[in-house]
Amino acid sequence: MKAKKTLFCLVLSVLLVCLYSCTTGQYMTMGRNENAEVLGTVNAEFTISGSFRYRNVINTQAYIHLLAEAQKVYEGNIDVRDISWAIGGGDSANNNYQYTATGKVIRK
């Protein structure tokens, strides 16, 4: 009986870690030595469909959508750093998941 409880706790712990790993993330964090002018912040929402909810796909989509929003507001040679994203909801029946992202706009 004790072995079953231990196995259950182990499986539950692994499952929770796996689920949490795709609910929030950070990408392209600014280094301490990076001397960039921060112009402001931008926010974006995007949907990822299908089974492509891998961290690198989410990171890339967050960056693409945030850079597009930044280019609507700021001119010149800009980039987006310190990106944070989180899952906002989902439609598991259709395998569509909504994400929100925030990032700092910097001048290169």
Q: What is the CATH number of the domain that holds 51?
A: 3.30.110.70
The pTM of this model reads 0.76
Residue 41 lies in a domain: yes
Distances (CA, A) of 82 to 26, 27, 36, 63, 76: 7, 6, 12, 10, 19
φ and ψ at residue 45, rounded to 5 degrees: -120, 145
Nearest to 85 by CA among 51, 49, 46: 46
pLDDT in tens, the chain (108 residues): 676 666 555 544 444 444 444 589 999 999 888 888 999 999 999 999 876 568 899 999 999 999 999 999 999 999 999 999 999 888 877 888 999 999 999 998
Whether residue 15 lies inside any domain: the answer is no
Asked, for residue 16, whether it belongs to a domain, the answer is: no
Domain that holds residue 60: 24-107
For residue 31, being part of any structural domain is answered with yes
Residue 1 lies in a domain: no
- Interatomic CA distance for residues 71 and 39, integer angstroms: 12
pLDDT at 22: 56
The residue with tokens 């929100």 is 100
